[in-house]
Amino acid sequence: MARIEILTAGHCTNLEVMAHRASPWRPAAFAAAFALIRPQGGGALLFDCGYSRHVMAAMAGFPFQLYRRLLPITLGRDAAAQMAERKETPTTIVISHFHPDHIGGLPDFPQARLVCSRQAWEWVRGRRGLAGLRRGFLADLIPADFTDRVTFAEDLPQDGQGHFRLEAGDETLSLVPLPGHVPGQLGLLARRDGGPRVLLAADALWRRTSLEDGVLPHPLAMLVHHDRTAYLATLDRLRAWKQAEPDLEIIPTHDAGA
Ligand SMILES: [Zn+2]
């Protein structure tokens, strides 16, 4: 039973129709949510870490101004400030994938162990400039000692469902492969203190309603996803899971309700 707090660190602005093709063509905020997880037995982990000033600095030059023009970013209070307020020092950051709205705060946590999938890392590793932009990857956000601090999910023990088991405090959290948006995207599954299980679902879906109404992102936004077939298969799997376990709370990063 973990205490799970859903927080946000900034947002970008895009058209609502991009997330949900039946919605209006009006600008909407896509919050960069992240989660603070305090497992039983102590310690604190983050799932992703939102935007931060480091993203703005890394996007200052060509070609990333293009990205900023397309998806204007509004910074909020960053993850580091929110952790300082709570007097928490996260010892582990689980990285769902390497888009800037998920890893923007990494430079502010130089001591944390990092956990991600090897597949997600290999997909972006070494890509700079246009090669990085094509995969939405800002190499400047990656700490110089990344390889010393990272644990790859694929090297953790697996359970019967193909989830990777991450020990935290007295608990075992599950890292759930959610491929499609990018290769190797990970969600995090934990039981909320006194409540149901929670799946932090990153960008496997952008709007919670997509699970019930089956409405997909706009075709233009679907182009952003690396593998459309895998994306749809992941969405189907989440829908079936939610039907089998109605209490399960599925929280997308950009529709976290935080
Ligand atoms: Zn993403």
Instruction: Kindly give the distance from the C-alpha atom of residue 41 to the centroid of ligand 1, in angstroms, as a whole number.
Output: 32
* Of 18-22, 30-34, 244-248, the least confident: 18-22
Q: How far, rounded to the nearest angstrom, does the alpha carbon of residue 131 sit from its chain's CA centroid?
A: 21
pLDDT (tens digit per residue) in 55-106:
999 988 888 887 777 788 999 999 999 999 999 999 999 999 999 999 999 9
Count of other CB atoms within 10 angstroms of residue 182: 27
Residue 28 has pLDDT above 90, yes or no: no
Residues with CB under 5 A from ligand 1 (ion): 99, 203
pLDDT (tens digit per residue) in 217-240:
777 777 778 899 999 999 999 999
Phi, psi torsion values for 140, nearest 5 degrees:
-65, -15
Could you tell me the two tokens for 216?
């997909």
| Residue % of the chain over a pLDDT of 90 | 71
Look at residue 170 in the predicted model and tell me its pLDDT: 92
CATH number at residue 206: 3.60.15.10
Instruction: Kindly give the distance from the C-alpha atom of residue 68 to the centroid of ligand 1, in angstroms, as a whole number.
Output: 15
Whole-prediction pTM value?
A: 0.94
Instruction: Kindly give the distance from the C-alpha atom of residue 121 to the centroid of ligand 1, in angstroms, as a whole number.
Output: 13
Domain count, the chain: 1
Report the pLDDT averaged over residues 117-135: 94
Look at residue 57 in the predicted model and tell me its pLDDT: 92
Amino acid letter for position 103 = I
Q: What is the mean pLDDT of the chain?
A: 92
Look at residue 91 in the predicted model and tell me its pLDDT: 96
Q: Which of the four pLDDT bands, split at 50, 70 and 90, describes residue 18?
A: confident
pLDDT (tens digit per residue) in 202-221:
999 988 888 888 777 777 77
Instruction: Kindly give the distance from the C-alpha atom of residue 104 to the centroid of ligand 1, in angstroms, as a whole number.
Output: 12
* Of 1-5, 107-111, 214-218, 233-237, the least confident: 214-218
Q: Which domain holds residue 83?
A: 3-255
Instruction: Kindly give the distance from the C-alpha atom of residue 101 to the centroid of ligand 1, in angstroms, as a whole number.
Output: 7
Burial class (CB in 10 A: 0-12, 13-18, 19+), 51: buried
